[in-house]
Amino acid sequence: MLFPAGVTALVVAGTVPAWLATPGRPLADWALLLAVCGTLFVRRRVVAACAAAVVLSVTYYVLSPVDGPLLVVVMLGLYRVAAEGRLVAAGALGAATVLSTALGTLAGNDEINAIALFMMTGWVVALVALGGVRHGRREALREAVRRAEEEARLRAVEERLRIAREVHDAVGHHLSMINVQAGTALYRLPRDPAPALTVIRDASRETLRELRSTLGVLRQVDPPAGGLDRLDELVRYAELAGLKVARETEGAVRELPKGVDLAAYRILQESITNVTRHAAAESLRLTIAYGPADLRLEVRDDGTGAGGGKGGAGIRGMRERARALGGELAAGPVPGGGFRVRARLPYGEDA
């Protein structure tokens, strides 16, 4: 409200000396002047306010012989209309302002000559253009804020999915082993349940460690610890679950990027978990091939069941991990029996 009030004060101050030099002016002049200035106080309907300012100012200049800086209010109104994005309306009102002034000159108003009319036209065009630029910058800022909010929302969704995947892979694996070994312990209870109970103890401890590590994502940027250096643990759990595990490594072992190392470990972990839960298999073969540009994994069992479960979150999570690194994963039954999971995780130039 301070700016409209200041403009009103300046317009009144610029008009009062001319009024004092022309005594006996009616109150209609004051009413028209204040009405024109009052349009600046309208916040919402700026087009209607600017149109009213144009009409009232033309009426004032026609009825009153006292000149004044009332045209400043009209110019500011045109700027406000353009700044609201109503460029067509601003152009039409600006044209009406210039046209009415030109008609006044033709009617005998010698105070506005051709040069003054040309300059006023330039001011009208400049203010409308400035208003359009301000509107464009404001819209660009709004769009940037909207995109930033959308990107933040997508990052939050991706982070929640990643944490859910980590919890499923890490905790689900060990809980599955606990379930299998608990059933084994009950079956062997009359004889010697110690091996199965030992596995339950170790798996529960590992579950707690994995859970703490996974939930640490909420406090830090680094992903949970884990990699192919812990493959022996997975093999040990599989063997204690009654599987004969064969391991094969192809190519020269190399240090892997942290993301590839973690993804490879989680894919092998989930695959072994699926075999122990669903495959009814006796043997399991793990193949890890180090290529010049990618790491290839294969987990194959000889079971009669579905080594990937029922196609639920496990295989979907493994496929998402591979795709996140630019790789691929395929899982399905093998002709002749068994189930196979194959994954390719690039770490070279194709990553």
pLDDT, one tens digit per residue, over 104-136 is 666 555 566 667 677 778 888 888 888 888 888
pLDDT, one tens digit per residue, over 38-82 is 887 887 888 888 888 888 877 777 776 667 677 788 888 888 888
Q: Is 226 left (phi over 0), alpha (psi -120 to 50) or beta?
A: left
* pLDDT bucket at 221, cuts 50 / 70 / 90: very low
**Per-residue model confidence (pLDDT) at position 222:** 47
Provide DSSP, 100-127.
HHHHHHHTT-TTS-HHHHHHHHHHHHHH
What is the torsion angle, in degrees rounded to the nearest 10, for the CA atoms of residue 15, residue 16, residue 19 and residue 21? -110
- For 334, list phi and psi in degrees, rounded to 5: -105, 135
Alpha-carbon gap, residue 311 to 306, rounded angstroms: 9
Q: How many Cα atoms sit within 13 Å of 76 on the Cβ side?
A: 20
Delineate the domains of the chain, giving CATH numbers in brackets. Answer: 2-112 (no CATH), 226-351 (3.30.565.10)
The answer to whether 31 and 56 are in contact (CB under 8 A) is no
* pLDDT bucket at 148, cuts 50 / 70 / 90: confident
What is the torsion angle, in degrees rounded to the nearest 10, for the CA atoms of residue 52, residue 57, residue 59 and residue 63? 160
User: Tokens standing for 14?
Assistant: 């610029």
- For the residues 210-236, what does the mean pLDDT come to? 67
Alpha-carbon gap, residue 94 to 54, rounded angstroms: 9
